[in-house]
Every structure is written in C-alpha cells, then in structure tokens.
Chain A
Amino acid sequence: MSETLDWTRGGTALHCQQCPSCHHLWYFERDFCPACGHTEPTTRQASGGGVVHATTLVHRAPSDEFRAIVPYQMVLVDMAEGFRVMGHAQPGVAIGDAVHCEVRQIAGRAVPYFLKDDHVA
C-alpha cells in the first residue's frame, strides 16, 4: 500500500482538504470548497494525531466479514488539524484519550485504526 495515497484509495495515509481562499478544512474529498465554492482545494496528509470524541463497542455486525471480529471498537476522533474521522480503535479507548491513526486491514479492507498514544505495540 502506498504511504501517500488516502486509505479510501488503497493507501495508508489519512487525508484532509483545505481551501486556499477561505481556509475551511474538511474530511470528505471533493474538488471544491463546500464553504465558499473555490475550485482548487489543497489535499494533504494529516498528522494522524487526535482526541477521541465518541466511542461504541459494536456487538451486532452487519455482515459475516464483521461478525468474525465482534465485538469491535468504533470511534469518532477529532484530528489535530480540525476534522472528525470515524474509525476503529483498540478496545477500551475512552472519550478524551489522545490517539494516533494507522491504517490497518480489518475484515478484508483498509480502515483507519486508532491506538492510544501511550500504547506500546
């Protein structure tokens, strides 16, 4: 997997976009700024660091692929750059925990996975 491609495109990076004109910053990729309409937003790799905003431990999976790994921890993370990401996380993370992102293969696909900053692999 490429280190510079976004995880949604088969890479291991987590991208965000920003408007060079109004400086609005966002996550879901587009070819324009949703705040002012500027048509040349910049795309950059996020630092990967953030703080857990919300958590849930999923016990009832939607499909066999995910049923094989239940229960799995899902989170919303406020990234340092100022956008919010949904991802998986190590079990037991709590709201307010400082975390960092690495893209992992989960249930056969690339997923942003968050580890606590003090986590020793």
Chain B
Amino acid sequence: MTYLVGSGLTAYGRHEGQTTLDLMSQASAQALNDAGLARGDIDGLICGYSTTLPHLMLATVFAEHFGIQPHYAHTLQMGGATGMGLVMLARQLVLSGAAKRILVVGGENRMTGQSRDSAIQVLAQVGHPTYEVPLGATIPAYYGLVASRYMHTFGSTERDFSALAVLMREHAARHPGAQFSKPITEDEVLASRPIATPLKMLDCCSVADGGCAVVISADPLGDHPIKISGASQQHNAQHISAMTTLSDFGAGRCTQRALADAGRRLDEVEYAAIYDSFTITLTMLLEEIGLAPRGQAGHLAREGHFGLNGKVPLNLHGGLLSYGHCGVAGAMAHLAETHLQMTGRAGARQARQAGVSLLHADGGVLSSHVSVVLEAV
C-alpha cells in the first residue's frame, strides 16, 4: 500500500515577485511540516513543469534550491493531468521500492511571470503546430468547439454550464486562499464577455500564481495519512482534429480501471475532485465518468447534489474555476483539498463524509487522463 501523508497549498492568485522555485518551496515546506518530516527524510522528488521556468532538469534544480539530495528525481509533463500523473507515478515508485518518501510538487508564477498573451500562446501549443495552432486557435477555442458538439449531441445548454461556474464560486467563498470568492449568478455567467462561443469569461478558469505539494510514503507516517488505493490513465489522442469522437475522450474507462484497481465501485465514491479548466470540461468529465447522467451535470449542481451537503461533494475548495489555476499545481489543489476533507481538517468547508474519494484530471484538450482513488486509512 502507498500513503499520502502530508499536503501543502499556497493561496492562488497574484504573488508579485515570487518565482516558480519560491512557490514550489513554500508548498513543499508546508507539506513536509504537515507530514511531520524533515528535508533529510525525503528520498524521492518528482515535480511538474513550469511554463515560466522552462528547464531540462527542473526537479534537480528544485532539489538543490530547496535543499534535498534525493536518490530519485525528475520532472513530468502531462499538461493539466500532470498533478494526478505525479501521484500515480509516486505510487508506482513506492510500490517498486525505488523510493520510500517522495516529495511531489508543482508551482508556477503563471500570472505575474509572463504577459497574458504569452500564457495564452504557450498553452495553445497543445494543439497541432502545423494543422491547428497557426489558425489562431487557443485553448478556449478548442474547448469551444468541443462544447458546441457536446450541446448538439447531449442537449446541454449554456445555462447548464453556468450552474457549474456558480457552484465552484460558492465553494471558493469558504476558502481563504481562493483567487475568486465573490458570489456569481447564472445570469452573470451568461452575460460575461464572450471568449470562444459558447464559452464566456466566467466559464473559463483564469491564470494564477501558486504552488502545491504532497508527500507520498510507503508507510502511514504522521498524523494525517490516507491511502492511495487506485490509479489509471487513458490517452486517446493529443489533438481534437485527430479524435475519432468528441463524445468519449476516455475519462470513463480511465476511472473504471482506477476504481477496479482500488476494488471500489463508482457508487461508493463519497467525494469527487474533478478537473474543471472550463465549465464544459467539468460537464464532460462528470458525465463521461458517470457522476452525472449525460446532459444533467448542471441540473444536479443546481439541485445541490455536488454541494457541501450534497450526495457527492465536488471540488469544495472552488476548483480551477474559482480557487485558481497555476498550471501543474492547479489540479494538485484538488488533491490537497481532498486530503484535508478526508482527514477532517477542512473547517467551514468540511463535508460530512469523505472516505472514498475519486480524483480525475485531463491534460491538453481532454487528451490525457489520469484517475486516482483515495481512501481513509
């Protein structure tokens, strides 16, 4: 068995003057403290990329900066799925015996470390460099295309999408570290500035500065261990022009395999942490995974199904849409919040029951998928 024994999460938003290494360091120090470990206890380090600190060897750069000399270290790149990919990899490394106590970290000054155009252009590179990017495509444009087809196929409406933005904002209001905490209404989402139809500004996550780290261990160390009981990936295609269908990106199969790995069923899931780069992303993932019937995610959100007191509380920190998105650490915030929820330390945000938890993230344009199942010790 493998355990997540500590987590650290900075506030997301504007951290003027803070670098990638600063943000990674802050989150890592918090995670070690949470686990009750010292730097010398760490024998493995895996981290995500940073768009503001592109480097061939970021993990070793960070190890030197933070002050550790691990037996095993490197960087992983899976776009938005990197955080969950790191958790799966750390588990594999622990199970293989390559390392016993692994620091997993992501952080980036994505908001203040570059211009907005630069961030948009870098992210658009997940599209095809010859056949897609030169057309003036952006990440919201790729997702706008996917959303138009989804609405056509499954009958979802722009108002249905907006209900998920409203829910994430409601959740973020209970977290002091969230980038956006002012309540919004469905009408405000619908009236927000168009970005790439049908997506409007409040359907899209913004960019933030921030960092997140966890410690993954072979033993249930410290006061807050939880079990990593299942994990799986699925990669259908990188580019939406090359996807055989825009109705099945592989999230469902990925999750089914992760649950099977854990010996669990979907109806046993008590807490969900699902990637929400756009309202359409969250809609598609919830519905493809089966946490909502097709076309019903917005309706269930409106009914309170995914709320603090709902049947399956979802992203209680506010998700990428409202807690914020700083790259690799974006989805890792879902993980840190799940850890707090599962160990009863979420304060005003505490769900009544958060035992079996399902996490899912995607990278690219629903290109790479990683699912992780966590359980109480």
User: Which residues from chain A sit less than 8 Å from chain B, CB to CB?
Assistant: 8, 26-28, 53-63, 65-66, 69, 71-72, 74-76, 84-88, 95, 106-107, 109, 111
Contact = CB atoms under 8 A, between A and B. Distances in A.
B182 interface: no
B194 A59 contact: yes
A28 B242 contact: yes
Given A55-B148, A61-B136, A74-B135, A84 B241 contact: yes
Contact of A86 (B117, B135, B193): B135
B206 interface: no
Interface in B108-137: 117, 120-121, 124, 128, 130-132, 134-137
Given A54-B146, A54-B246, A84-B241, A111 B135 contact: yes
B136 A60 contact: no
The 10 closest A-B pairs by CB, nearest first: A56-B144, A66-B136, A54-B149, A54-B145, A57-B197, A59-B194, A60-B195, A56-B196, A58-B196, A54-B148
23 contacts: A8-B130, A27-B131, A28-B131, A54-B146, A54-B148, A55-B145, A55-B148, A56-B198, A56-B199, A57-B194, A60-B195, A62-B121, A63-B117, A72-B136, A74-B137, A74-B145, A74-B196, A76-B149, A86-B137, A86-B145, A86-B241, A95-B149, A95-B152
B131 A58 contact: no
B124 A88 contact: no
A29 to B, nearest CB: 8
Contacts, number: 106
B140 A60 contact: yes
Given A54-B246, A57-B197, A76 B145 contact: yes
A27 B194 contact: no
Contacts of A62: 117, 120-121, 124, 136-138
A76 B59 CA distance: 39
Contacts of A58: 136-138, 140-141, 144, 196
A54 B137 CA distance: 14
A56 B148 CA distance: 7
A59 B152 CA distance: 21
User: Which residue, B136, B144, B242, has most C-beta atoms of chain A within 10 A?
Assistant: B136
A53 B149 contact: yes
A56 B242 CA distance: 18
Contacts of B194: 57, 59, 71
Given A53-B149, A72-B136, A59 B193 contact: yes
